[in-house]
Amino acid sequence: MRILIVAATALEIAPITAALRRRSDGGPRTIAYTYAGHDIDVLTTGVGMVATAAWCSHVLAQTRYDLGLNLGLCGSFDWALGPDRVVHVASDRFAELGAEDGDEFLTIHDIGLLGNDEFPFTGGRLANRHPPANAALNGLRAVNGITVNTVHGNERSIAAVTERFQPQVESMEGAAFMYACLIHGLVFAQVRAVSNIVERRNRQAWKIDTAIEALGHAARRILDDA
């Protein structure tokens, strides 16, 4: 199987790349590995949805993969999903894509610039309706996510986005990865470990190291089952 692993930073996936056997540099931002009989390309896009969308489409236009995995960290709006919990983000959306109308926010779908079910959207979201048949992935909790340019750290904006979209997690890349996979017809999964609760910025409460470790364990199990 040929697999593409996508991450924003090398730090987030250091435990899993350490378990892979490096073959060569595959191209800009891409390194080729092998693991358990699989050929694996690791793409490190850089932070943010623009970099993720651009680099994913660049790579997917050149190489056909059997599976795409987006691995990274996220913040959780759900206090039941605390730090180091690993989740499968089964649907995602661009939370800031739209327009302000006074105190009201209108999505790109609300203002009629994009249909709710216009490809690749389903009901205004990017939905992974056909995830890979993978026992380790199926064991993870499936959640709804949002992708943002500015991570939330203000009580009013947290309350507003929670009321608007009812997200469980947020990242800066997930929906861009899913968009690229959907338009390229790639079987994929977005897998993230919670590093913090979404609240006013409180770095002392973040569990980045334990989240990265948990993500590495989950990713290896997914690859073992691939």
Q: At 1, is the pLDDT very low, low, confident or very high (cuts 50, 70, 90)?
A: very high
Q: What are the residues whose beta carbons fall under 8 Å from the beta carbon of 150, sequence distance 6 or more?
A: 96
Q: What pLDDT, on a 0 to 100 scale, did the predictor assign at position 27?
A: 79
User: Across residues 167-190, what is the average pLDDT?
Assistant: 98
Alpha-carbon span 63 to 105, nearest angstrom: 39
For residue 53, the SS3 value is helix
Q: What pLDDT, on a 0 to 100 scale, did the predictor assign at position 26?
A: 74
Burial grade of 226 (CB within 10 A; 0-12, 13-18, 19 or more): buried
Contact indicator for 152, 170 with CB cutoff of 8 Å:
yes
CATH class of domain segment(s) 2-225: alpha beta
For residue 217, the SS3 value is helix
* Per-residue pLDDT tens over the stretch 52-108: 999 999 999 999 999 999 999 999 999 999 888 999 999 999 999 999 998 889 999
The pTM assigned to this predicted structure is: 0.95
Q: At 214, is the pLDDT very low, low, confident or very high (cuts 50, 70, 90)?
A: very high
User: Across residues 151-167, what is the average pLDDT?
Assistant: 94
Alpha-carbon span 119 to 142, nearest angstrom: 22
How far from chain centre, in Å, is Cα 129?
A: 15
Q: At 113, is the pLDDT very low, low, confident or very high (cuts 50, 70, 90)?
A: very high
Q: Is the dihedral of CA 184, 185, 187, 188 positive or negative?
A: positive
Q: What pLDDT, on a 0 to 100 scale, did the predictor assign at position 217?
A: 97
Q: What DSSP string runs through 108-168? A: TTTTTSS-TTSTT-BTTBEE-SS----HHHHTSEEEEEEE-SS----HHHHHHHHHHH--S
73-to-66, 138, 182 alpha-carbon distances in Å: 23, 19, 21
H or E segment and range at residue 26: strand 21-27
- Residue 204 clears pLDDT 90, i.e. is over it: no
Contact indicator for 143, 168 with CB cutoff of 8 Å:
yes
Q: What pLDDT, on a 0 to 100 scale, did the predictor assign at position 5?
A: 98
* Per-residue pLDDT tens over the stretch 24-36: 887 789 999 999 9
Q: What pLDDT, on a 0 to 100 scale, did the predictor assign at position 171?
A: 98
- Residue 124 clears pLDDT 80, i.e. is over it: yes
Q: Which two tokens stand for residue 122?
A: 């389903």
- Residue 122 clears pLDDT 90, i.e. is over it: yes
Q: Which two tokens stand for residue 104?
A: 């009201």
